[in-house]
Amino acid sequence: MAGGYRQQPGASSGGTRKDGKRVAGKQKFPPPGSGGSHPNMGPRDLDSIPESVGGKEPQPAGSHIHDRYRTGTEVGKPRALVDSYAKVTGQAWYGDDVRLQNEIIGKILRSPYHYAKIKSIDTSKVEALPGVLAVATGADAPNTFGVLPVTKDEHAMAVEKVRHVGDLVACVAAVDEATAMEALNLFEIEWEVLDPVFDPRKGLEDQDEPIHWRGKYHVGTTNVQKRVFQEFGDRSLVVDPTASSHGKWRMEGVHHGFTEPHAVVAHWDPNGRLQLYTPQQVPHYAHRALSTVLEVPMHQINVIRTFVGGGFGGKSDPFPHEMCAAILSRKAGRPVRITFSREEVYWINRGRHPSYIEVKMTADDEARISGFDIDALIDGGGFASFGHVTSYYNGVLATAPYELGSFHYTGARVWTNKPASGAMRGHGAVNTRCAVEVGLDEMAEQMQVDPIDLRLANLLPPHSRTISGFRITSNGMRQALERVREGSDWDKKFRQLPLGKGIGIGCGFFISGSGLPIHWDPNRFPHATVHIQIDMDGGVTVHTGAADIGQGSTTAVAQVVSEVLALPIEMIHVRSHESDTSPVDLGSYSSRVTFMNANAAIRAALDIREKLLNAAWEMLGYHPDVLVLNDRRIYYKHDPAVGVSYLEALHKAQEDKGSLISSGAYRSPPMGGVHKGAAAGLAPAYSFSAYIAEVDVDVETGLVSCTNVWAAHDCGKALNPLAVEGQIIGSCHMGLGQVLSEKMVYGRTGHLQNPNLLEYKIPSVHEMPHVTPIIIESSDPEGPFGAKEAGEGPLLPILPAVVNAVYDAIGVRIRTLPLSMDVVWKAISSKTRSLGGIEATELPSPRLEHSLLQQTLAERGAQHRERDRRRQRSEDTSAYVNGVLFGFDPDRPLEDQVEGWKSAVEPVPEQLAELGLAGKAWLKKEQRQMGGDK
């Protein structure tokens, strides 16, 4: 394939600096499948899988770079997760299952105040209590840490002040839990209580005592932690729209609700090395933070990831209690275990941000989406956590799958005196996605067209570039929409159901692995590394740092190794728990693990494969090109009788080097634009999904029950269809919780009123609809065997699908989440009042009569369908950038074609007056601009 897809129109030259370094954003898009500098794989123009291992497999999305290495052993077969046996027999060891000899119990003293200065802590009575072996306070660990290097604002325990009820003040370790609890009452602390802030809107104003201080970068004296402004495209297109939607949303914070509470065991071994057992999604960042806080080099710390009883983003920060356990253990000289109660889990939080989101959308006379204006004010709670990224994701992850005329985003994340928000499944994308998809539904209604046809006629094709510069490779969006439409019998139901019954559509778009690692320049380290070792017994030991949090990453790695080496999966043993033995992996976040880690595993396996084939070549005399691996045997392609067993080849290969050892790595290719924030949302591939939900609404009580969901998700290639379906169904459950019942309730006094699983309403099995998972395989050119993520993206569409279905059922648009029964009832009540006090049972159901535009859309959709098919199969490799739908030439810079084509990351002064809620954060200057730098 010639050239590859272009990253920026007209930027074919000037991509290299004088010193030979590449300039980000000035590159050609590398051919997909070329991640890293030395891809250890052949070209992609292979015709098919050899007939000897399964015949000519149909390849609807074209051939794949890994096709040659398919052996038909594991990939694509439904397989119970390899660690499921340990789990179902109760032998999996979670954080609190770790029992070391001589262990003592640690407990944490937590702040009873929302916001207060600690004037003094007297620990003498605690220390005097018999049975207490160690006490620690903030003074023992003054170094800050945080998951993002740019926002390290956490301490192991409060230094100077506490920032929310439940914030860590001190900790104690004692011979048993009862003694430790008793000791907590003996701390004598002098407080100076400060005025707390709970409402993020208040956080935008100047304060006497901001919750954190960022020095010269601090925005005024406000509590703004991060503000974002982005503007792209031709803003003149939004003038005089044919349809428009303007919605103001209020979304409550939600928590991951994982089963296993946080637990940690720390132990300094006889050599003085720290052994830390913790259920972490991201052991590597915890490793780094521990090193900083404890002032011990990383090589003197061994982070042991236990089994993780659910994470969903809630176990991806380095946590203060991990530091506490290590500090206590160092002081006491004995292993220390700390296990959280459920309240403590809610206090450490890191759940989805409570958000105020405003979305303005416009469509032109051809029903093209001429503008997205998004304003997102998100409530970060007491600490930054992943918030820097969340602030971007709320906007930039809405720039696809639709082709936009223009895009405008203002976002702000504000500190408040509440438990810290952070990353949660669908990080940052979920709330705006819901708002945007509901806006599309509203515009479709105004234009009297079918919302599915509106979407089908506005999709970006495969191998294209979004308005903000993301590289889209494979794209199964169209197929997903078509499949759910067919499966749900949409055309016979939409706007035709009786009052109280409704059907709605929603789409999703999510990253498959963050393109830039948080902690290093991509030119320095790979994102994922996998080591493989085979000794004479033939068993394959795979070392990976990928954290299996139940999503099945261990299984995925085992499967791809098994596939490449044509060995049964029982022969593959994955070791992934200890940082001492596993190569660095960045961890389980941003849906990166299967994509990056399995790619690394394939490369390591290919290395082994080559060694085996070379050995077989020596023994058989046939060149590896004509040798086939299949079920523990290597044989001549045209005469399977001529061959050697796997063990024979292995022993030959081991003759003079012993164990076969290989290392494989993956890093994403350079991508993206050059503007500030261009890296946020960049990914080597993106997943797409479309859901249709059916609901029943009790119009008298407002109770919404979701009855059916048709859920199509494009995961590239289902390495393990069973696991993908599990992720889709699980995502539906989690998303339904957010849209129907879950919320973190902060009461009149700012206290979290429901920090327990009885009052935090996670849907039960009774609330679960029938979900029909539909797997779309678009064969991503860069993914392992074509795979993309399936862990987070599937959550996104369920929210708007349900909200749109509720509208279809009762004709009332509700923009407050969750749609709990009281919220829906209130909306129905005000609607019935506005209609002259009719009974709820007399509400008119919305109906649809197609306008002339419907025909235009159907025709355009049909043309695009053919366009997408050709691009997906690489029959058409011409450049495509967002804007072609509006008549622009993809081969010339857009700035040259349109006067006023925007590409701005800061507002101009004239804009300041019109900015939305979060945009108000731009009204203040940074300290350095004001001459202050305290």
Partner 1 sequence: MLMPPFHLHHPSTIEEACELAAGFLETKESFDWVAGGTDLLPNYKWHINVKQHVISLARVQGIDTISMHEIGAMARLGSIASSRDVHPLIAQAAGKVASSLIRNNATLGGNICLDTRCFWFNQSEDWRRSIDWCHKEDCGTGSDCRVIPNQNTLCVATYQGDVAPSLMVLEGLLHIIGPKGERQIPVDEFFQLDGITRNVLEEGEFILKVTFPEGVENRVGSYKKLRVRESWDFPEAGVAASWIEGDLSSLRIASTALESIPRLHQQEIDKLDGGFSTDKILQLSYAMMKSIKPVNNTALPPRYRKSMVKVLAKRCLQEILGDGE
Which residues of the shown chain bind partner 1 in the complex (CB under 8 A)? Answer: 110-113, 165-166, 177-178, 181, 341, 343, 700-701, 741, 747, 749, 751, 753-756, 758-759, 761, 763-767, 820-822, 825-826
Q: Identify the three-state secondary structure at position 781.
A: coil
DSSP 402: B
Q: Which is nearer to partner 1, 261 or 515 (CB)?
A: 261
Rounded Cα distance, 593 and 527, in Å: 10
778, 816 contact by CB (below 8 A): no
Written as six digits, the tokens of 434 are 């819901």
Shortest distance (Å) from residue 864 CB to partner 1? 43
Shortest distance (Å) from residue 767 CB to partner 1? 6
Q: Which is nearer to partner 1, 648 or 767 (CB)?
A: 767
Q: Which is nearer to partner 1, 167 or 782 (CB)?
A: 167
Cα–chain center distance at 877: 30
Q: Which is nearer to partner 1, 118 or 558 (CB)?
A: 118
Rounded Cα distance, 871 and 62, in Å: 10
Q: Which is nearer to partner 1, 705 or 878 (CB)?
A: 705
Shortest distance (Å) from residue 424 CB to partner 1? 21
Q: Which is nearer to partner 1, 493 or 751 (CB)?
A: 751
Shortest distance (Å) from residue 130 CB to partner 1? 17
Give the number of other CB atoms < 10 A from CB of residue 58. 7
Shortest distance (Å) from residue 382 CB to partner 1? 14
Tell me the CA distances in angstroms from 564 to 71, 84, 612, one per residue in order. Answer: 6, 23, 12
Residue for token digits 């009862």? Answer: 178
Rounded Cα distance, 320 and 576, in Å: 24
Sheet containing 243-251, strands listed edge to edge, beginning at the edge strand earlier in sequence: 816-817, 243-251, 355-363, 369-381, 406-415, 224-234, 901-904
Which parts of 542-632 fold into alpha helices (H)?
A: 553-565, 598-620
Q: Which is nearer to partner 1, 113 or 901 (CB)?
A: 113
Shortest distance (Å) from residue 167 CB to partner 1? 11
Q: Which is nearer to partner 1, 296 or 703 (CB)?
A: 703
Shortest distance (Å) from residue 139 CB to partner 1? 22
Nearest CA-CA partner of 414 in 444, 454, 384: 384
Q: Which is nearer to partner 1, 192 or 206 (CB)?
A: 192
Strand positions, DSSP E, 196-242: 224-234
Written as six digits, the tokens of 489 are 């019998």
What element of type H or E holds 347? helix 342-348
Tell me the residue type at 514: S
Give the number of other CB atoms < 10 A from CB of residue 918. 32
Contacts of 798 (CB under 8 A, 6+ apart): 506, 691, 693, 709, 711, 731, 732, 735, 736, 739
358, 249 contact by CB (below 8 A): yes
Shortest distance (Å) from residue 419 CB to partner 1? 12
Q: Which is nearer to partner 1, 112 or 538 (CB)?
A: 112
Q: Which is nearer to partner 1, 755 or 793 (CB)?
A: 755
Written as six digits, the tokens of 268 are 């300094």
Written as six digits, the tokens of 188 are 């004598």
Shortest distance (Å) from residue 169 CB to partner 1? 11
Q: Which is nearer to partner 1, 821 or 898 (CB)?
A: 821
**Buried/exposed code over 176-203 (b: 16+ C-beta within 10 A; e: otherwise):** eeebbebbbebbebebeebebbbebeeb
Shortest distance (Å) from residue 345 CB to partner 1? 12
Q: Which is nearer to partner 1, 91 or 829 (CB)?
A: 829
Q: Which is nearer to partner 1, 34 or 111 (CB)?
A: 111
Q: Which is nearer to partner 1, 114 or 256 (CB)?
A: 114
Shortest distance (Å) from residue 158 CB to partner 1? 15
Rounded Cα distance, 605 and 73, in Å: 14
Shortest distance (Å) from residue 592 CB to partner 1? 34
Give the number of other CB atoms < 10 A from CB of residue 56. 10
Which parts of 621-674 fold into alpha helices (H)?
A: 646-654
266, 326 contact by CB (below 8 A): yes
Shortest distance (Å) from residue 906 CB to partner 1? 41
Q: Which is nearer to partner 1, 842 or 896 (CB)?
A: 842
Nearest CA-CA partner of 315 in 456, 422, 171, 185: 422
Written as six digits, the tokens of 155 are 């301490």
Written as six digits, the tokens of 199 are 């409402």
564, 628 contact by CB (below 8 A): no
750: left (phi over 0), alpha (psi -120 to 50) or beta: left
Shortest distance (Å) from residue 344 CB to partner 1? 8
Rounded Cα distance, 804 and 691, in Å: 11
Shortest distance (Å) from residue 174 CB to partner 1? 12
Sheet containing 274-278, strands listed edge to edge, beginning at the edge strand earlier in sequence: 132-137, 168-174, 104-110, 336-339, 263-268, 274-278, 301-305
Q: Which is nearer to partner 1, 151 or 339 (CB)?
A: 339
Shortest distance (Å) from residue 123 CB to partner 1? 18
Q: What are phi and psi of 378, to 5 degrees?
A: -120, 145
Rounded Cα distance, 162 and 683, in Å: 37
Shortest distance (Å) from residue 766 CB to partner 1? 3
